[in-house]
Amino acid sequence: MPLPAPDLDDRRFQDLVDEAKRLVMRRCPEWTDHNVSDPGITLIETFAHMTEQLLYRLNQVPDRLHITFLNLIGLRILPPTPAHVPVTFWLSSPARARLTIAAGTRAGTLRTATAESVVFTTREDLAVVPCSLARIRTVLEPESEGGQAGAGTEAGRPDETADRSRLLSDGRPFPVFRRRPEIGDALLIGLTDPVPGCVVRLGFRGRVEGVGVNPKHPPLIWEAWTGDGWTECEAGLDETGGLNTSGAIVLHVPATHRASVVDGDRAGWIRARVTEPEEGQPPYTDSPVVDGMTVCTVGGTVEAVHAEPVGLEELGQAEGVPGQQFPLRHSPVLAGYGPPVVETGSPDGWLEWTEVEHFADSRPKDRHFSLDAVSGLVLFGPAVRETDGSLRHYGAVPEKGAEVRIRGYATGGGARGNVATGSVCRLKSSVPSVSAVENRRPAQGGVDGETLDEAKDRGPLLVRTRSRAVTAEDYEILTREAAPEIARVRCVPTGQDPAEAGGVRVLVVPAAAMQDGRILFENLVPPEPTLRRIAERLDRARVVGTRVMLEPPLYRGVTVVARLVARPRVNVERMREDALEALHRYLNPLPGGGPEGAGWPFGRPVQAGEIFGRLQQVPGVELVEDVRLFTADPVTGVRGKEARRIDLDANSLVFSYEHQVRVEAH
């Protein structure tokens, strides 16, 4: 795509004339006639015209030549990418009829005096399906009851289940599991209809005999049948503490929930299954007892994107000539939103055109187009004159007078869309029966577009790689092109083990939401679709015999324990929060962290001395009394020994883990 070429001198004719008039008034105040009829003004305009011609020639070199060369080699500025987040819509009352929340529904963050609202838009229709309890089944006591073989509580287990629906309707209590619950015992709940992507509330009325489990860590998970097996449901609320007492349970059902048949009963099945208790937690010793249960739908969850989608845009009429360009009304066009569709009118209807990166492989009859995402141009294939004087068409040419339109693109996006959990709390579209909206996970994937300076730095590397991955930098460049939504990438050779010779590791850091510099560790795992897209691109570019391993970096948890002295009349608690934020932002693997603001460098050690200096820069700090460094495991939380210096491997990054700061008044 054409890069924006800078002007060395951006003055034009009128600017030169105005500047000359200002100099006249300053240095020759007796000259008062500045009308165009004055001979002196005529001379000024003549020289301004000549000077403008000189500036035009000046602007052709040298930066403009640099940009022109980058255009010739096909360098493209990477456009911004949008952040994605699942958004949950809560109903004002349980659903009684099917409700469809249309694609394009908008929800955003709270608008403040200093920040505009970040708006997200749903990409698909969300069907909120009403449901109620149809069937309920429990595992049989093998020695006491008979029954028919049903869906096993685990794959391959021939456990038998019994229908308890009659007992429930008659108000007679029954045990949820066996008298002595075992791992794998399950309570099967059949809904009247499958509820893909919906939020279901279970009203449980019951009790537990004897000693129950720890209500904060019950050995119990909820699952839904998705056609290929049982998939875990996210429990947003469990007032029962693992069926210990009466209360409500709110389940977020997967979008792949399907109906199935269990012992002749067709329903949308979900289940509660006993699992291995966590270390130090008690198991079920007695089965909870069900006295009553109700089920209803109270909301739904759908994917939303930080973008302004454009449904259908008319571009104009084709002139029937090669290389025609059509500007879009909105730019830049977001990467990672989905492929836009260009259509041209014909007597047989609308013809769909396919987007290509370039026209080098396009044949004269191929309906191909290229999209300049940053400047917003739709390009059709050119024609090149051959040595024999004939014209060779690279791609088909739309017929003269044909209407051209585009659909399915979006604008907006950027890193500001990576908002924290609970930030999307304002409904921007009017939706009947919806009372609230929230994001239960942080938004991820938003990356700002590439700047011109960044593109110029990437130009020489593009010339060297030519879409072939040989060196570590080649792999990093091609990974960036394949997945512009990632935050960072690093390529390192494999270890010294001879079995790993001839391989490289590509370390991918996704764009994750930050709040006061804090990041959730689970958000640093790259999404599977992104890794697949990168793998496909690198597989085409790698040297034959080279093994490429895609994985996240090895994160080394670092805990800082510091003691500070505040200046007089400084708010101690505020200074403590500022110090914690400074540590989280400094020891941060994402862009914005690290000594230079590009993220903590791979393999760079952490030393106590630089932490002293960073804390001393916090407003209100009089003295940094003590700084101690500890390694920590971000997964288990186990803290290591104190160290003055923490070394990192070449494939490692730091991760801030539970810093502790004590502030003493002066």
pLDDT tens figures, 599-617: 999 999 999 889 999 999 9
Q: Which residues pair with 187 in a beta bridge?
A: 138, 272
Sign, CA torsion 581/582/587/592: positive
pLDDT tens figures, 115-174: 889 999 999 999 999 999 999 999 887 654 444 434 444 333 435 788 898 998 888 999
DSSP string, 32-61: ---STTSHHHHHHHHHHHHHHHHHHHHTTS
Out of 81-95, 218-232, 289-303, 470-484, which region has the weakest mean confidence (pLDDT)?
470-484
Cβ neighbours of residue 258 under 8 Å, at least 6 residues apart? 194, 196, 225, 226, 227, 268
Q: Are 274 and 177 in contact (CB under 8 A)?
A: yes
Q: Determine the Cα–Cα distance for residues 646 and 26; give it in Å rounded to an integer.
A: 65
Helix (H) and strand (E) counts in the chain: 9, 38
β-pairing verdict for 230-232 and 186-191: unpaired
Q: Which residues pair with 29 in a beta bridge?
A: none
DSSP string, 325-375: EEE-SS-SPPTTS---EEEEEETTEEEEEEE-S-STT--TT--EEEEETTT
Q: Determine the Cα–Cα distance for residues 211 and 244; give it in Å rounded to an integer.
A: 9
Mean pLDDT over each residue of the chain, to the nearest integer = 87
Question: Which two structure tokens, joined as six digits, stand for 196?
Answer: 């893909």
* Mean pLDDT of the 345-360 span: 90
β-pairing verdict for 554-566 and 652-656: parallel
pLDDT tens figures, 440-462: 988 988 888 888 888 887 777 77
pLDDT tens figures, 248-259: 999 999 999 999
Q: Determine the Cα–Cα distance for residues 163 and 188; give it in Å rounded to an integer.
A: 9
pTM for this model (two decimals): 0.72
Q: Which residues pair with 559 in a beta bridge?
A: 630
Q: Is the pLDDT of residue 1 over 60?
A: no
